[in-house]
Amino acid sequence: MSLLSARGLSKTYGATPALVGAEFSIDAGEVVAVMGPSGSGKSTLLHVVAGIVPPDAGTVMYDGRELSAMSDVERSALRRSEFGFVFQFGQLVPELSCRENVALPLRLDGVSRRSAEARADELLASLEVSGVAGQRPGTVSGGEGQRVAVARALATDPRVLFADEPTGALDSLNGERVMDLLTGAARERGTAVVLVTHEARVAAYSDREIVVRDGRTLGVERVSS
Ligand code: ADP
Ligand code: ADP
């Protein structure tokens, strides 16, 4: 059975159908690219399978449990302990240093400042952004900020990492670094990585692609490689 899967997902915003009977699945250690044009429903699919947005119809199963059967408190605890998120904008806390940002999810889990910041420094080093550890996010470049956000998402060693256009604001070298880190987490730690992208170059890093068109998941295709 898949680690995370969804069947028959529908979601309508006002008169706009964002998802129409969409399907989804991902296994531990797998990198799945969710592809499709702007407005096709990719972000909505990610938000629904991550338990952030409730579907109008359909079911989402995580590790044998149905998300809709959980209370809000259980779902947010699950998101905090098992899921990691990398979104394109507004993800780092501007008042904290980059190190403190990466350490934050661990601090919220009750990890001591000393251990959390040691882990943060390790992650920042693996992304080659040790140099910005003491700086606030507002003072670093877009590429550095994005790598700090990836480090923060990996800090709690999530079982599923959701990344929405993680390389959207990056030049290709930074994009490659971010993608290498995400796929490395899948290989080395068995993290399931859900990658929302409209770029074939980014999707090429995935094991499998799910194509979204007008809210429908059209093809679930194995990438031949
Ligand atoms: P994508 O990520 O592929 O660009 P989205 O999932 O963001 O697509 O959007 C799918 C459709 O649903 C679009 O028409 C979008 O405008 C609409 N939509 C998404 N989120 C909302 C929302 N919170 N309120 C109203 N409409 C929304
Ligand atoms: P992305 O596709 O890069 O994730 P979007 O601009 O589609 O970002 O959406 C950003 C946020 O706004 C999401 O939370 C989405 O649900 C919401 N959203 C998208 N389209 C609409 C819309 N037409 N009306 C209201 N909220 C929307």
Other Cβ atoms less than 10 A from the Cβ of 127: the count is 21
State the complex-level ipTM. 0.67
- Which is more confidently placed, 183 or 60? 60
Q: Which ligand 1 atom is nearest residue 196's CA?
A: 2
Per-residue confidence band for 225, with pLDDT thresholds at 50, 70 and 90: very low
Which of 24, 44, 211 should be mutated for ligand 1, with most atoms under 8 A from CB? 44
Short-list 198, 97, 193, CA closest to 144:
97
Lowest pLDDT segment from 41-45, 108-112, 180-184, 203-207: 180-184
Strands (E) in 1-135, as ranges, are 4-13, 16-26, 31-35, 57-62, 65-66, 83-86
Ligand 2 in reach of 43 Cβ (< 6 A): yes
- Which is more confidently placed, 109 or 28? 28
Q: Is 222 a residue whose pLDDT tops 60? A: no
How high is the pLDDT of residue 220? 61
Whole-prediction pTM = 0.84
CA of 190 to the centre of ligand 1 (A): 30
Per-residue confidence band for 221, with pLDDT thresholds at 50, 70 and 90: low
As separate numbers, helices (DSSP H) first and strands (DSSP E) second, the chain gives 7, 10
